[in-house]
Structure 1
Amino acid sequence: MGNLLYLIAVILVIAWAIGFLGYHASGLIHILLVIAVVVVLLRIIRGAAN
């Protein structure tokens, strides 16, 4: 399950980069970036706690 969350976070970061650099899309892309960063941070924290 952790690997799936990490994969989703990476995909969201890539989607944000494409949207921000290529299309200057709406704020939805930035919300996706925030979600991706939170998921990565949770994975790092949970990994350090184990």
Structure 2
Amino acid sequence: MSSSSIGTWAARVAEGLRACGWTVHRIGDVFPDDGQDVPDEEWITHGLDRS
């Protein structure tokens, strides 16, 4: 599966979950380049801030 089709699939899944009332945060909605350059410490801090 190509990266663009994975992105499209992930967006559809996220929207479907949101439609069911789930809170979904896609990486690309928060960090550029799907967070490829985000260090672990920043991920952890971000996750703790959102909980």
* TM bin (shorter chain): 0.3 to 0.5
The TM-score, its normalising length taken from structure 1, stands at 0.45
The TM-score, its normalising length taken from structure 2, stands at 0.44
Q: Which structure has more RCO (C-alpha within 8 Å, separation ≥ 6)? A: 1
Question: Comparing both structures, which one devotes a greater share of its residues to helix?
Answer: 1
